[in-house]
Each structure stands twice: as structure tokens, then as C-alpha cells.
Amino acid sequence: MTRFMPAGALHGAYTPPPDKSISHRAALFGAMSSGPVVVRNYLDAGDTRSTLAAVTAIGARVEERGGGDLVVHGVGLRGPSEAADAIDVGNAGTLLRLLPGWLAGQEGRSWTLDGDESIRRRPVDRVAEPLRRMGARLAARDGRLPPLEVTGSALVGVDHELAVASAQVKSCLLIAGLLAEGRTRVLEPASSRDHTERMLARAGVALERENGAVGVAQVEELALDELVVPGDPSSAAFLVAAACVVPGSRLTVEGVGLNWTRTGFFQIARRMGASIEGDLEPPGAFAAGEPIGCLEVEARPLRGTTVEGAEVPLAIDELPLVALLGAFADGETVVRGAAELRVKESDRIAGVVDGLSGLDADIEATDDGFVVRGSAGLRGGSLESRGDHRLAMLGAVAGLVSPEGVDVVGMDAAAVSYPGFELDLGRLLER
Ligand code: S3P
């Protein structure tokens, strides 16, 4: 148990840890390449360590040069070897969903993917079903949960229409599409993070983008040499949220990724009245690279807002923080259309609502989100992380604005995405 107490305002400049989503993809794309790929600013955290171990288990070699620099010596698009044991994805949902897209097209080889207790509750039918339509052979426990067995086979490209926007599912299918005969197209009901598409473009893959769908054709190889990972806007969001609610705070966030498919939380916070200055990438932009920039954040009075529809995938991992801001805002804050939160590292609707109501927030769960009525804020108490890194950090930030402080049970979960969280927070609180 770790206790977080009010400790004054946040001040100073800070660089968030490297982006988790982009780090996973950099390791996977490096492994899929034939030549060496230099990765700069790779995230050193539980989840992204799992990806390095996974690509190593299937034949890639990872040279760690220190300071976040890696060289991935890949096996080529068609070269992964069978692993000695089940591939352990740990707690990494992104690895669990993306890797099968690559392995499914490898004829004559098979693999099993498994992970921790939380990963064993996370659905894989969302990738298994569309991959099967391409000719893949996959078997999951009870038809929908890990362990997931993948037997490589010849794939054919098909058109997929996703019922729910998901970057993980989209990425899995686009990666499988690189190996499939013909074209593979994915249409989402709303835009989700597009790091895979940007990295594919960087690797020389021609992307077809039409009427909201994205498509790829079979390719021989990826042409990548170097990838630079920006700071993670999802990790930065915890300290940004802290600076929004702790009166008198002034925070500068440097080197942070500003890809518009990731900055939904900053837009929502601005709408709630927060002062977040910086050049967020304009919505709809697309480039073969990731924009990196700087944000200036200052605490201001907040008002309630509604988050729904197309905005949900752009802020999916930060919605717990919208609840926290909502507890300090004037009026009601509503999040709907976010049922996906129930199948994240934990059931995040239950985790946020039970967690914050335990600290005296006026918050209620709905089937697909929550409603928070802003009040004088929080009293404090204890919050259970449920082994979920984002709930652990939510509890810590809540502690900074709860007169009685917050005991976070299971703070160690933060190391999945942000091992230096407490250190960074401590530094920004020092006078
Ligand atoms: C991720 C996509 C999101 C997000 C997850 C990381 C990714 O999941 O919640 O933390 O790296 O593609 P979904 O795409 O399944 O919503």
C-alpha cells in the first residue's frame, strides 16, 4: 500500500516516459524487418519488456545499447521461428492482439500465446474471428480467451468492418494483410490510434485510405532503418490531470507525442476549462511519422462535459482521468459509448466508479460509461488498483487533492507502463 497526500502544487518541466503503444510496434516491426532497425527511446517497462522477450523467443535478436536505444535484428516478414514454450505476453494486451496477426500467416509453424491472470480474462475472439475469415487457424480457451494457439497458414485478404473502433484489432488485421494474398481493408466506426499505419508508411508499405477505411496489399519486406518513440501522452495525462486539479500548478510537458488520435484527453480537459497550451496535431492529419511537442498546463476552475462517440477511442485510456476531473468540475460529467473500458487491464468502469466513490466522489456507473456530479472534490480513503496500472496512477493523483490522502493498494502495477511515475511526481512536487 502506498499513501499519497496533498503536497502543494506541481511545478516545472518534465518529459514523460516513451510511448507504450509505439514501443510495442517498434519492437514488432523491427522483428518483422530483415535488416537491423535502430529504435530510439524505447520504453523500459513491464509491458514492453514482454514484447522484447516475445520477439526474441521467435528468433529476433535485440541489442540493448542503454538510454532507451535498441537495435532489433529481425527475422524478416516470413521468418519467425517456433518458440520453445508458450510465448508469455505478461500483462500486454497490445502484444496479445498484434502478434497473432504476424504469426497467423506463417505456414508450417505454430505458437501458443499466454500471459498473466489479467490477460487470461481479456478477449481474443475480436482478432481470432476476423483472422479466420482470412484463412487463419486459431484456437482460444472457451473460444474467446487466452491461451491462444496460432497455427500458421496461407491467408487471403478480405474487407473487415469493425463493430467497435479498436487500434489493436485494426493493427492485427493490417499486419496479417502484409502476408495475405490480395488486399486487406479495415473499416472502423470511428478513428482509433493510427501508429501502425504511420509505421507501415515509414516502412515503405503503400496504404490505401478511402472513405474511412485503411487497406494494405501483400508485400515482400519492410524497409525500416530507424524509429524514434515520442513521450507517451497517456502517461503524461496523469501529471497533466494532477496539474489541472491541484490549485496553483504550472507544468511544462516536453517531448510528448501529439498525434491527434491520442490527444482526446487534452481536448476534453480544455473543453472543461483546463489551460493546456500547445500545438496538438489537427484532427484527421496523417503522416509517416509521429509529431512530438510541448504542452504548458495550468490549474483552472473546471466545468462538466459529455464525452461520447468519435471522441471515446481518442481518449480511451484516459477516461478514468476524465472522471477525476469531473469530480472537481462544476456540474455533471458524462462518459458514454465506452463499454470497451470493461475489457481493459481490469473492468475500468467498475474500478473507477468503486475507486472514486470510495474517496467520496459522487459517481455512478452506467453500462457503457459513468456519470460524475462535481462537488467540493474528494475526501480521501483507499483505492484498489486491481492490478491495473492506470487505476493505480489514478489513485495516486487523487491523493494529491484529497484532504485525508489516498492509500493505493497495488501501486506496483504502475510499472507496467510507467515505472518512474512516483519519482517524476515527487520531483514536480518539490519546491
Ligand atoms: C492500444 C489500443 C487501445 C488501448 C490500449 C493500447 C494499442 O486498445 O486501450 O491501451 O496500442 O493499439 P483498443 O484498440 O483495443 O481499444
Q: Is pTM, for the whole model, over 0.95?
A: yes
Q: Which three cell numbers stand for residue 151?
A: 497455427
User: 119 CA distance to ligand 1 centroid (A)?
Assistant: 14
Q: CATH says 2-18+230-428 is which class?
A: alpha beta
In whole angstroms, what is the distance from residue 210 CA to residue 374 CA?
A: 42
Q: Which three cell numbers stand for residue 194?
A: 493510427
In whole angstroms, what is the distance from residue 7 CA to residue 401 CA?
A: 9
Q: At 199, phi and psi to the nearest 5?
A: -70, -35
Q: Name the residue with cell 510541448.
A: 294
Question: How far out from the chain centre does Cα 296 lie?
Answer: 23
Contact (CB, 8 A) for 429 and 401: no
Q: In this predicted structure, what is the pLDDT of residue 375?
A: 80
In short, whether 425's Cβ falls inside 6 Å of ligand 1 is: no
* Fold that domain 20-228 belongs to in CATH: UDP-n-acetylglucosamine1-carboxyvinyl-transferase; Chain (3.65.10)
In short, whether 166's Cβ falls inside 6 Å of ligand 1 is: yes
pLDDT in tens, 208-254: 999 889 999 999 999 999 999 999 999 999 999 999 999 999 999 99
Q: In this predicted structure, what is the pLDDT of residue 129?
A: 98
Q: How far is CA 55 from CA 59, 176, 267, 351, in A?
A: 7, 16, 36, 32
In short, whether 317's Cβ falls inside 6 Å of ligand 1 is: yes
In short, whether 316's Cβ falls inside 6 Å of ligand 1 is: yes
Instruction: Using most ligand atoms within 8 A of CB, pick from 50, 186, 193, 348 the residue to mutate for ligand 1.
Output: 193
- Report which protein residue has its CA nearest ligand 1's atom 11: 21
Taking Cα atoms as reference points, which of 323, 353, 350 lies closest to residue 121? 350
Q: In this predicted structure, what is the pLDDT of residue 431?
A: 62
Measured from the CA of 196, which atom of ligand 1 is nearest? 12
Instruction: Using most ligand atoms within 8 A of CB, pick from 22, 166, 172, 418 the residue to mutate for ligand 1.
Output: 166
Q: Where are the alpha helices (DSSP H) in 165-232?
A: 167-179, 195-202
Contact (CB, 8 A) for 290 and 197: no
- Please list the residue range(s) of the chain that carry CATH number 3.65.10.10: 2-18+230-428, 20-228
- Report which protein residue has its CA nearest ligand 1's atom 10: 317
Question: How far out from the chain centre does Cα 58 lie?
Answer: 24
pLDDT in tens, 307-361: 999 999 999 999 999 999 999 999 999 999 999 999 999 999 999 999 999 999 9
Q: In this predicted structure, what is the pLDDT of residue 376?
A: 76
Contact (CB, 8 A) for 216 and 205: yes
Cis ω for the linkage preceding 147 (within 30 of 0): yes
Measured from the CA of 317, which atom of ligand 1 is nearest? 9
Beta bridge partners of 73: 36, 61
In short, whether 51's Cβ falls inside 6 Å of ligand 1 is: no
User: 5 CA distance to ligand 1 centroid (A)?
Assistant: 31
Q: In this predicted structure, what is the pLDDT of residue 404?
A: 98
In the chain, which stretches have pLDDT less than 50?
none
Q: Which three cell numbers stand for residue 117?
A: 491472470
- Report which protein residue has its CA nearest ligand 1's atom 16: 166
Beta bridge partners of 250: 11, 298
Q: Which three cell numbers stand for residue 349?
A: 468502469
Beta bridge partners of 150: 111, 138
Instruction: Using most ligand atoms within 8 A of CB, pick from 94, 195, 346 the residue to mutate for ligand 1.
Output: 94
